[in-house]
Structure 1
Amino acid sequence: MASIKNFNPRSIPIATRSLLGAAIVLSLAGLVVPHEYLALRPATSFYYIWTFALAGLWEINIFSLAINSVGLVLSGKYFESHWGTKEFAKYVAIVNLSTYFGVLLATVFEYAVTMDYFWLFGSEASGLAGLLAGFLVSFKQAVPEHSIKVFNVISIRAKYIPSLYLLANFILFALRIIHVHFFIIFFGTLGSWVYTRFYKKQDGIKGDRSETFSFASFFPDFLHPFIKPLSNTVYKFAVAAKLCPPLRQPLPTTTPVAAAGSQQAASNPPAASDADAERRRALALKALDSRLASTPDAPGAR
């Protein structure tokens, strides 16, 4: 209770605070503004192009706004502090736009299959759920082995949370409890993974090619022999179509022994991802050591 009383809104980073304010303002505006100006509707969003940006921040009711605002503040305080305001804002823009563009493609595809005009004129997509699903992916990438206790009973590692969340929503989708909302979760997860895996710069490294963050890592181990060949084929196609960058080659070296090692590594592209992963671990350990070294001993400690 004391922590709630002592809560200071200024402790929320500026970009997160701005997003929260925009979500509240848009939700209030939704009381008087027609929904097609705020939510994504396949038939009208081509004309109201701004809905691709606004839909990811507009919640249709006060309950979803309250719940998702808490998730936004917690995620924003963590990631904006680690990434910086500029990278955080860039991440939010990319994940939101990719989420709702994916939802548009999915609903248009459903119309093409069913010829039901509801998917063009009646379906609406909006809310922070896609962005929050993306944050779960980033949490998996940042601290995969971190354990979270649910109701102090079940302990779940961070690397499993995006998959479990996606699975839970897929079950609701299969039971016809939700529909377009599942598309939001799915494309939020996919957009965040693609950006983080191949494009996002962190610690001087572009993307995260480590095996622990591969596409197959979102599935149980027994499915990896089936998932990996499929994902590798899609990846090679995306590289050939210049939709995705190829594996980064190791940095050139000057010594003969190191040069020979680089040539051998170049013939084995996964070595680059292993090097990236080791470098990330080394940077993280170095940062932790510097923090511990700069922390004075507590008075009276024994």
Structure 2
Amino acid sequence: MAIDVKSTVAQWRQEIVMTLKESTKSARILCALLVFFYALSGYILGGMAITPGYLFPPKFWVWTLVTSSMIETTFMMVFGGLTVILGASRLLEPLWGEKEFCIFFAVVNAMSGFLSSIVYLFGYAVVFNDDLLFATSIHGLASFKAGVFVALKQSRGEDTVIFRLKIKQIPVTYLCCAAILCMMEIISTTYFVMLNTGMFSAWIYLRFFQQHSRGRGDLADHFAFATFFPKVFRGPIGFLSNIIWNILTKLKICQKATYKYDVAAATNITISLPGTSEADAERRRKKALAVLQERMANIESPEEGWSEDEETSPEKAPEKTEASVKIENEVADQVA
């Protein structure tokens, strides 16, 4: 079956134009910058991309942490970058807002560039190869692509995409595939390093520092670091991450989760959990209230064989109060 190349190209062009028109101002600006720097990449690559040896003193080229993400040297990488920016904008901006999306873009790329440079610095300390510091060029949107997968795991982790693969399983699957491609020398080692540091940077920012209407960060259990890995590895990874977490909280770098319960009345429970959505909190609250009311009704109704004296005996009142408190605590644990 013959393929009409002209009509196919025209259709793609129309879809791209429509997508750009429907996108937000921030997404269009990022796309324009990516194309602009791609046109100049042959002339400004050395001064705009991150070179690990120049990022630290005495050179201290800190501006490359900002500019490096916009430098792509091939058309396919530019096309992939445009697709990621427009797709991420459509999926994440309705949840966060345009300003927060731009902050996420900048923070992930800058933090990933810095961490990637640290990786190469440690590599140099092991093998003493000057090329790791001065012949390595860190640039492109690989970090942001990986960070988008982390953001989608946080917001739409249970959605199924293809072959019954859920979004929450994509980050580790993507890294495994990238590792195989790196060993086959299909993708560069630098690209693979940027994927890893990009995912880690996005998780750090979303987990502990992102500002939103409910406070800061997302300390929900489903977004813990161990949940990025298969269940067989979650035990040891969770153990190590808890040790690091305790150290960071003692150093005041991270804050522990705060749980507030208002049980002044048996039918009114107010819960404040940082990092959880309002819809999820409301669902949990209604479920807890239903369980509490059902158990309270069972306690207050007299059982068969009770005598009238037992019902009115003042010695039984403390037992009933203790049972009520126990149930309230159990329901509160379910909500938490």
Regarding TM over 0.5, the answer is yes
SS in 1 for 2:202: helix
**What amino acid is aligned across from residue 68 of structure 1 in structure 2?**
G
**What amino acid is aligned across from residue 119 of structure 1 in structure 2?**
L
1:299 aligns with: none
1:125 aligns with: 138
* Residues 1-302 of structure 1 aligned to structure 2 (within 5 Å): 5=14, 7-8=17-18, 9-33=20-44, 35-46=45-56, 47=59, 48-149=61-162, 154-174=163-183, 178-247=188-257, 249-251=258-260, 253=262, 255=264, 276-277=275-276, 279-282=278-281
Kindly provide the CA deviation profile for residues 193-240 of structure 1, in whole angstroms up to 9, marking residues without a partner as x. Answer: 111111213442422212211111011112222111111011111212
Q: Which moved more, 1:167-176 or 1:140-149?
A: 167-176
5+ residue gaps in structure 2? 1-7, 285-336
TM-score of the superposition, structure 2-length normalised?
0.72
Identical amino acids, percent of aligned pairs: 23
Q: Is the CA contact (8 Å cut-off) linking 1:208 and 1:276 kept in structure 2?
A: yes
Cα 1:272–1:158, aligned 2, differ >3 Å: closer, same or farther? same
**What amino acid is aligned across from residue 165 of structure 1 in structure 2?**
Y
Cα 1:272–1:215, aligned 2, differ >3 Å: closer, same or farther? farther
Deviation at 1:117, TM superposition (A): 0.3
Q: Is the CA contact (8 Å cut-off) linking 1:39 and 1:126 kept in structure 2?
A: yes
Flag the structure with more relative contact order, 1 or 2, with Cα contacts below 8 A and sequence separation at least 6: 1
Q: Is the CA contact (8 Å cut-off) linking 2:217 and 2:275 kept in structure 1?
A: no
SS in 2 for 1:141: helix
SS in 1 for 2:53: coil
Size of the alignment, in residue pairs? 269
Kindly provide the CA deviation profile for residues 271-296 of structure 1, in whole angstroms up to 9, marking residues without a partner as x. Answer: 976x75474524699xxxxxxxxxxx
SS in 1 for 2:144: helix
Q: Is the CA contact (8 Å cut-off) linking 2:218 and 2:276 kept in structure 1?
A: yes
Kindly provide the CA deviation profile for residues 230-277 of structure 1, in whole angstroms up to 9, marking residues without a partner as x. Answer: 110111112122222222x12364828799x99xxxxxxxx976x754
Q: What stretches of structure 1 move > 6 A for 4+ residues in a row?
A: 256-259
**What amino acid is aligned across from residue 120 of structure 1 in structure 2?**
L
Deviation at 1:182, TM superposition (A): 1.4
TM-score of the superposition, structure 1-length normalised?
0.80
**What amino acid is aligned across from residue 220 of structure 1 in structure 2?**
P
CA distance in 1, matches of 2:160, 2:128: 46
Determine which structure has more spread, i.e. the larger CA radius of gyration. 2
CA distance in 2, matches of 1:41, 1:3: 36
Q: Which moved more, 1:135-144 or 1:199-208?
A: 199-208
CA RMSD of aligned residues (A): 2.8
